[in-house]
Amino acid sequence: MPATSTSRTARERVREEMTGEILTVARDHLARDGAAALSLRSIARDLGMAPSALYRYFDGRNALLSALILAAYESLAQCAEEAADQAARHEESDFERFARVPRAIRRWALARPYEWGLIFGTPVPGYEAPEDTVGPYARTAGATVRAVVEAEQAGRLSSVRDTAAVSAELAEAVTPVSEALFPGAPPETVVSAIEAWTTMIGAVSLEVFGHWRNTILDPDLYFERTIADLADSVGLSRLA
Amino acid sequence: MPATSTSRTARERVREEMTGEILTVARDHLARDGAAALSLRSIARDLGMAPSALYRYFDGRNALLSALILAAYESLAQCAEEAADQAARHEESDFERFARVPRAIRRWALARPYEWGLIFGTPVPGYEAPEDTVGPYARTAGATVRAVVEAEQAGRLSSVRDTAAVSAELAEAVTPVSEALFPGAPPETVVSAIEAWTTMIGAVSLEVFGHWRNTILDPDLYFERTIADLADSVGLSRLA
DNA sequence: TGTACATCAGTGAACGCGCGTTCACTGATGTAC
DNA sequence: TGTACATCAGTGAACGCGCGTTCACTGATGTAC
The pLDDT of residue A238 is 79
Return the HEC string of B180-230.
Answer: HHCCCCCHHHHHHHHHHHHHHHHHHHHHHCCCCCCCCCCHHHHHHHHHHHH
Q: Which residue of B has its CA nearest to A31?
A: B125
What is the rounded CA–CA span in Å between residue A54 and residue A50? Answer: 8
- For residue B6, what pLDDT is reported? 52
- Say what the pLDDT of residue B184 is: 92
Q: In chain B, pLDDT over 70 holds for what percent of residues?
A: 95
For residues A44-50, average pLDDT = 97
Q: What percent of chain B has pLDDT over 90?
A: 86
The pLDDT of residue B8 is: 61
Nearest CB partner across the interface for B226, out of A124, A125, A195: A195
Mean pLDDT of B208-226: 97
Is the pLDDT higher at B129 or at A92?
A92
d(CA B56, CA B16): 12
Amino acid in the structure at residue A48: G
Separation of alpha carbons A158 and A155, rounded Å: 8
Q: Output the CA–CA distances (angstroms, integers) from residue A63 to A57, A60, A67, A135, in the order listed.
A: 10, 6, 6, 19
Interval B48-75 mean pLDDT? 97
User: At residue A39, does pLDDT exceed 60?
Assistant: yes
| pLDDT (0 to 100) of residue B18 | 97
Sort out which chain B residues have CB atoms less than 8 A from A215's CB and list them: 176-177
Q: Is the model's pLDDT at A8 over the cut of 90?
A: no
- Sign of the dihedral defined by the CA atoms of residues A71, A74, A80, A85, in that order: negative
pLDDT-based confidence at B28, cuts 50/70/90?
Answer: very high
Strand C close to A49 by CB, under 7 A:
yes
What is the rounded average pLDDT of the residues A115-136? 89
pLDDT band per the 50, 70, 90 thresholds, residue A3:
very low
At residue B4 the predicted structure's pLDDT band, cuts being 50, 70 and 90, is: very low
A165 chain-B contacts, CB cut-off 8 A? none
**Is residue B51 within 8 Å of residue B41, measured between CB atoms?**
yes
pLDDT band at A6 (very low <50, low <70, confident <90, very high): low
pLDDT at B168 over 90: yes
Alpha carbon distance A13, A11 (integer Å): 5
Q: What angle is formed at CA B97 by the lines to CA B117 and CA B171, rounded to 5 degrees? A: 70
How many whole angstroms separate alpha carbon B102 and alpha carbon A76?
A: 30
Query: Are the Cβ atoms of B36 and A34 closer than 8 angstroms?
Result: yes
| Alpha carbons B200 and A187: distance in angstroms, whole number | 21
Distances B33 to A1, A39, A72, B30, B45 between C-alpha atoms, Å:
53, 18, 23, 5, 15
A95 within 8 A of A234, measured Cβ to Cβ: no
Q: Are A178 and A168 in contact (CB under 8 A)?
A: no
* Residue B3 predicted with pLDDT over 50: no
pLDDT value for A161: 59
SS3 state of residue A150? helix
**Cβ–Cβ < 8 Å for A53, A44:** yes
Q: How confident is the model at residue A240 (pLDDT cuts 50, 70, 90)?
A: low
Q: Which nucleotide is nearest to B49 (CA to C1')?
A: D10
Q: Using CA atoms, how far apart are residues B129 and B134, in angstroms rounded to an integer? A: 9
Residue A125 has pLDDT above 90, yes or no: no
Nearest residue, CB atoms, B209 vs list A123, A167, A218: A123
Query: Is the per-residue pLDDT at A75 higher than 50?
Result: yes
* Residue B62 CA, nucleotide C21 C1', distance (Å): 12
Is the pTM value of this prediction over 0.85?
Answer: yes
SS3 of chain A: helix, strand, coil, percent, to 5: 75, 0, 25
Strand D at less than 7 A from CB of A61: yes
- Chain B neighbours among A 135-154 (CB < 8 Å)? 137
Please tell me the predicted confidence (pLDDT) of residue A219: 98
Which of the nucleotides in strand C have any atom less than 7 Å away from a protein CB atom?
8-14, 18-24, 29-32
B 157-216 residues inside an 8 A Cβ radius of A: 161-162, 164, 166-167, 169-170, 172-177, 191-192, 194-195, 198-203, 205-206, 209-211, 214-216
Position B96 scores a pLDDT of: 96
Distance CA A111, CA B197 (A): 24
At residue B1, does pLDDT exceed 60? no
Kindly give, in sequence order, each residue whose CB lies less than 8 Å from that of residue B88, ignoring residues fewer than 6 positions away. B97, B146
SS3 content of chain B, % helix, strand, coil (to 5): 75, 0, 25
Q: Which of A166, A173, A203 sits opposite B198 (nearest CB)?
A: A203
Which pLDDT belongs to residue A1?
Answer: 34
B12-41 residues near strand D (Cβ < 7 Å): 15, 18
Examine the pLDDT at B200 and tell me if it is beyond 90: yes
Helical axes A187-208 vs A219-234, angle rounded to 10°: 170
Chain A nearest-CA distance from B33, in A, is 6
The distance from CA B230 to its chain's CA centroid, rounded to whole angstroms, is: 18
Residue A127: predicted pLDDT: 74
Q: Which of A178, A156, A181, A174 is CA-nearest to residue A234?
A: A156
Could you tell me how many helices (H) and strands (E) chain A has, helices first? 10, 0
| Three-class DSSP category at B34 | coil
Instruction: Tell me what pLDDT residue A2 has.
Output: 36
- Residue A226 at interface with chain B, using a CB cutoff of 8 Å: yes
User: Could you tell me which residues come within 8 angstroms of residue B149 by beta carbon, excluding any fewer than 6 positions away?
Assistant: B181, B182, B185
